[in-house]
Amino acid sequence: MEHVYNIDSQLQLLDAIKANNSVVLKQLYTANYYKIEALVLKNNGSKEHAKDVYQDAFIAVWKNVKNDQFIPENETALQGYLYQIAKNKWMDILRSPSFKKTKTIQHELNVLDKNIDQNGHEKNEEQEFYRKRLEQTMEAFKNLGAPCKELLTAFYFDKASLRDIADKLKIEENSVRTKKYRCMEKLRQLALASKK
Amino acid sequence: MYGKTSSVGISLEKIRKLKNNSNFTPELLEAVERFDNGSMTPEERISFENQLKDIDFKALVEDIRMTLLSIETQALKERLDEFHKEIPENRPVEKSTTKVRFLSFSKIAIAAGIIIALGIFWMFSGSSNEKLFNQHFRPDPGLPTTMSSSDSFVFYDAMVNYKQGDYKTAISKWQKLAVKTPENDTINYFLGVAYLADKNADKAIPFLNKTIHNTESVFLEDAHYYLGMAYLKSDRKEEAIREFKKSGSEKSNDLLKDLQDGVSSYK
């Protein structure tokens, strides 16, 4: 039954991730970082590289969990998945021409696994358009004014209810609803205006 | 004028539509939210799904979802930076899957601990010269193993084995290099000290003797000292004293003192 229980705990973990449970996300993040740091440091990278590649991988895992694209097969499946994605990303970076130009690749890189599934490399135009819009909107959200940013984060990321937010801001629930919409409108306009 | 409707046209047209779109209403936003979190009544759901058959409507809904995903992703990204600050400074000891190139301090400490412990044990056994040897002998600390390029790789690779106390592996790797460059004082020196550390004084002696042939060698002083140690271990006291005198290093002088006054009391 141990096995079942463990899979069960993975499923609980997935639910917590889907709900953006900050405690769980933080635990997952901090507990698995050093494995990646060790890998990157041993393969020509810096701590800064490790952090970037790890965060990218973490976000990719989070997205796949959200979309039910990840199904755990054992009790540490998610942790292993996170490691694998981060590793693949780092290998991609090492193989990229821009990286090779700045750093001499040491022989041991050739030894590393080359049969890595690099899904998403052949993006069609539709996907490319989507990806660009997503990036633009993220950038716009990053630079959005603090009141809007906090409200949207509380509602969409932390899944706080309109009621909770209203209590916190000491305003009517309906005003929160209106504000939320206005903020969304503003964000969408900002994103469309960007010409990146 | 508006003739360009090929590939790029799709995206441009989309943007134009989204920009002009006044269909983004509070009601629609909430409908998307409720549809996605499953809080719609079955009737509402069916009605919404019917509306989605309209391509333009569907595109707008997808775009709203994209906006929501952007918010969540960016919010997560910013939170990760906060998490990062809370990663404990003391990294856990991971068993590494990749090659270990640098010796961790703990490994050196453990190795040193074992050597000292064995040293103490040996002190209570063997002949007086053997005792003196065990009391004084510390393997040469070796050279820092820097990540260096190609040709010296084997040398430093063996150095890692040496530092880990795996003298036999280090010896077999250095032996191969010694075949290529038999007069290299560095390789001869480390082969000598590795054999000695591996308690094989007889094999150590010829390599250390080769090292001292090169009177310019940076290892000269230490080579005389370890050669003396090798003789001492082999109970060849006179030769040991000769080498310690030639060495003149602090360690050698300590040993000479012990040999002259200490040993008499041993006997």
What single string gives the DSSP state of each residue in A23-47?
HHHHHHHHHHHHHHHHHHHHTT--H
A120 within some domain: no
Q: What is the CATH number of the domain that holds A164?
A: 1.10.10.10
Q: What is the average pLDDT across A143-147?
A: 93
- DSSP character for A157? I
Q: Are residues A37 and A88 in the same domain?
A: yes
The Cα of A157 is separated from the nearest Cα of chain B by a number of Å equal to 5
Contact between B132 and B258 (Cβ < 8 Å): yes
Q: pLDDT tens-digit profile of B12-35?
A: 666 666 655 567 899 999 999 999
Residues of B with CB below 8 A from A138's CB? 70, 73-74, 77
Task: Determine the pLDDT at residue A104.
Answer: 45
pLDDT beyond 90 at B163: no
The Cα of B27 is separated from the nearest Cα of chain A by a number of Å equal to 9
Q: Which of A85, A111, A137 is the last residue in one of the domains?
A: A111
Q: Are residues A14 and A96 in the same domain?
A: yes
Distance CA B76, CA B70 (A): 10
Q: Are residues A107 and A129 in the same domain?
A: no
Say if A5 is an interface residue toward chain B (CB within 8 Å): no
Distance CA A17, CA A27 (A): 11
Question: b vs e for A171-192, b when ≥16 Cβ sit within 10 Å of the residue's Cβ?
Answer: eeeeebbebbbebbeebbebbb
- Tally of structural domains, chain A: 2
Partner-chain contact A138 B26, CB within 8 Å? no
ipTM of the complex: 0.83
Enumerate domains of chain B plus CATH numbers: 12-83 (no CATH), 105-266 (1.25.40.10)
Say if B7 is an interface residue toward chain A (CB within 8 Å): yes
Say if A174 is an interface residue toward chain B (CB within 8 Å): no
Say if A194 is an interface residue toward chain B (CB within 8 Å): no
**Per-residue confidence at B118, pLDDT binned at 50, 70, 90?**
low
Cα–Cα distances (Å) from A60 to A53, B36, B221, in that order, read: 11, 20, 59
Q: Are residues A86 and A130 in the same domain?
A: no
Of B5 and A46, the one with more pLDDT: A46
Q: What is the CATH number of the domain that holds A33?
A: 1.10.1740
Residue B99 tokens read as 């090659």
Residues of B with CB below 8 A from A191's CB? 67, 70
Residues of A with CB below 8 A from B7's CB? 125
Say if B78 is an interface residue toward chain A (CB within 8 Å): yes
Compute the mean pLDDT over every residue in chain A, rounded to the nearest whole number. Answer: 83
Taking CA–CA distances from A189, the nearest residue in chain B reads B19
Residues of B with CB below 8 A from A43's CB? 98
Q: What is the average pLDDT across B40-66?
A: 92
The Cα of B73 is separated from the nearest Cα of chain A by a number of Å equal to 7
Cα–Cα distances (Å) from B108 to A39, A129, B165, B173, B198, in that order, read: 22, 55, 9, 21, 17
Contact between A70 and A61 (Cβ < 8 Å): yes
Q: Are residues A22 and A90 in the same domain?
A: yes
C-alpha angle B216-B219-B222 in degrees, rounded to nearest 5? 130
Question: How many angstroms from the chain centroid is the CA of residue A141?
Answer: 15
Residues above pLDDT 90, as percent of chain B: 25
Least confident piece of the model among A139-153, B93-107, B205-219, B226-240: B93-107
Say if B79 is an interface residue toward chain A (CB within 8 Å): yes
Contact between A22 and B78 (Cβ < 8 Å): no
- DSSP character for B216? T
Residues above pLDDT 70, as percent of chain B: 72
Residue B77 tokens read as 């990204």
pTM over 0.90: no
A119 within some domain: no
Distance CA B88, CA B152 (A): 37
Q: Are residues A92 and A169 in the same domain?
A: no
pLDDT beyond 70 at A124: yes
Q: Which of A50, A76, A111 is the last residue in one of the domains?
A: A111
A residues 113-172 lying closer than 8 A (beta carbon) to B: 125-126, 129-130, 133-134, 137-138, 140-142, 152-153, 156-157
Q: Are residues A11 and A104 in the same domain?
A: yes
A residues 55-84 lying closer than 8 A (beta carbon) to B: 55, 58-59, 62-63
Question: Counting every residue, how long is chain A?
Answer: 196
A141 within some domain: yes
Task: Determine the pLDDT at residue A115.
Answer: 31
Say if B116 is an interface residue toward chain A (CB within 8 Å): no
A116 within some domain: no
**Per-residue confidence at A160, pLDDT binned at 50, 70, 90?**
very high
pLDDT beyond 70 at A120: no
Q: Which ranges constitute the DSSP H helices of chain A?
A: 2-18, 22-42, 47-66, 77-95, 97-102, 125-142, 146-152, 162-169, 173-193
Q: Are residues A16 and A91 in the same domain?
A: yes
Task: Determine the pLDDT at residue B13.
Answer: 63
Partner-chain contact B15 A142, CB within 8 Å? no
- Name B65's Cβ contacts closer than 8 Å, sequence gap at least 6: B32, B36
A39 within some domain: yes
Query: Could you identify the residue written with the tokens 């080579």?
Result: B223
Q: Which ranges constitute the DSSP H helices of chain B?
A: 7-20, 26-36, 42-51, 55-85, 105-123, 128-136, 153-163, 167-180, 185-197, 201-213, 220-233, 237-247, 250-257, 263-266
Distance CA B25, CA B32 (A): 11
> Which of the residues A54, A135, A162, A188 would you substitute to probe the B interface, choosing the one with the greatest number of B C-beta atoms within 10 Å?
A188
Q: Are residues A6 and A69 in the same domain?
A: yes
Task: Determine the pLDDT at residue A113.
Answer: 33
Half-sphere exposure of B110 (CA within 13 A, CB side): 7
Q: What is the average pLDDT across A138-150?
A: 94
Q: What is the average pLDDT across B71-79?
A: 96
Cα–Cα distances (Å) from A164 to A155, B69, B71, in that order, read: 9, 22, 19
Q: Are residues A42 and A78 in the same domain?
A: yes
Contact between B196 and B226 (Cβ < 8 Å): yes
Cα–Cα distances (Å) from B97 to A39, A116, B103, B105, in that order, read: 9, 18, 15, 18
> Domain containing A39: what range?
2-111
**Per-residue confidence at B219, pLDDT binned at 50, 70, 90?**
confident
Q: Are residues A67 and A34 in the same domain?
A: yes
Q: What contacts 24+ positions apart, CB below 8 Å, involve B162-167?
A: B162/B190, B162/B194, B162/B197, B163/B103, B163/B108, B163/B111, B164/B103, B164/B107, B164/B111, B165/B111, B165/B114, B165/B115, B165/B197, B167/B194, B167/B195, B167/B197, B167/B198
Q: Are residues A100 and A173 in the same domain?
A: no
Distance CA A140, CA A121 (A): 25
Task: Determine the pLDDT at residue B124.
Answer: 53
A118 within some domain: no
Q: Which of A111, A143, A165 is the last residue in one of the domains?
A: A111
A153 within some domain: yes
A117 within some domain: no
